[in-house]
Structure 1
Amino acid sequence: MTTPPVTVGPTTTAFQAAQVMEQEAVGCVLVTDHGRLRGILTDRDLTVRGLAHGPRPAQPVGDLMTTPVTTVDAGDDLDTAYRTFRNAGVRRLPVLDDGRPVGMLTVDDLLRDVVERLVDLLIPVSRSALRETTV
């Protein structure tokens, strides 16, 4: 997961949020109020809710964010995250610790995990195969 998560307040404007997303090279920000998660604002939210009905760069992200937010707990295992992604059909999962965002888990993070696990499995098999061909 990526830590710390990128956050903005609910009164942050759409324009300011877009600038934060560009500066941080992220596709979403978590909308928090007093450290508590209130919503998630994705690049798609900005496009569909913020621009599709006429550009309103001063509109607060509290009006554009997606809520409720599908999350996982910091104590959850990776299998729980996989199931949550699959069942919810989302690409990003905020990770919460006692209701406060501590990270962001993305489908890309899980893809990296899958590739690393595959490499871990294939290296011994490859070594074994190479030994057999040299004998």
Structure 2
Amino acid sequence: MTTSGVGKTVKDVMHEGAECIGERDSLRTATQMMRDLSVGALPICGEDDRLKGILTDRDIVVKCCAEGKDLDNTTAGEFARGLVWVEASNTVEDALQKMEQHQIKRLPVIDQHRIVGMISEADLAKELPDSKLAEFVHRVYASA
């Protein structure tokens, strides 16, 4: 680990080009997208191309499959609640604080009201010193 995250912006360390799942798309479509993109989370976007929420593989398993819901008849939009995001121009520290505060591992990145990427705990791991990373992991996973 390095301390190179200090002073960097979210845009410097995020994964660019996050692909959205439409809010009316089925969870089956979401699972196929996750498989094809090798990701564990998808931003949910509305018809206006605006971010509405985020859908994780865990959401699908715990809130759909385990509850006996049908993947073909449950939409991504049903999971579009509690939206948390960060501006691309914010610092890595700002993203870290939001992720800790909301106990989330992935955070959509917005620039000029549009999603431009995602920042994850793996992105932070490359930028933070070991002590800071350990603190982040403790805070995010504490109630898991």
State the TM-score, normalizing by the size of structure 2: 0.75
What is residue 52 of structure 2 aligned with on the other side?
38
Instruction: Provide the identity percentage.
Output: 30
Distance in 2 (CA, whole Å) between partners of 1:113 and 1:93 is: 16
Computed over aligned residues only, the root mean square deviation of the Cα atoms, in angstroms, reads: 1.5
Distance in 2 (CA, whole Å) between partners of 1:106 and 1:31 is: 16
Name which one, 1 or 2, has greater alpha-carbon Rg.
1
Distance in 2 (CA, whole Å) between partners of 1:15 and 1:47 is: 11
What is residue 82 of structure 2 aligned with on the other side?
68
Relative contact order (C-alpha < 8 Å, sep 6+): which is higher? 2
What is the CA deviation profile of residues 68-89 of structure 1, one whole-angstrom value per residue up to 9, with x for unaligned ones?
2211111101111111122111
Query: Which one of 39, 46, 63 corresponds to residue 49 of structure 1?
Result: 63
Q: Structure 2 stretches of 5 or more lacking a match? A: 1-13, 130-144
Q: Return the letter of the residue paired with 2:75.
A: P
Deviation at residue 3 of structure 1 after TM alignment: 1.1
Distance in 2 (CA, whole Å) between partners of 1:113 and 1:41 is: 25
For the pair 1:111 / 2:125, whether they are aligned, the reply is yes
SS in 2 for 1:108: helix
In the alignment of these two chains, the number of paired residues is 115
What is residue 97 of structure 1 aligned with on the other side?
111
Q: Contact between 2:44 and 2:80, CA under 8 Å: does it hold in 1?
A: no
SS in 2 for 1:114: coil
Distance in 2 (CA, whole Å) between partners of 1:57 and 1:86 is: 31
Q: Return the letter of the residue paired with 2:21.
A: V
Deviation at residue 114 of structure 1 after TM alignment: 2.2
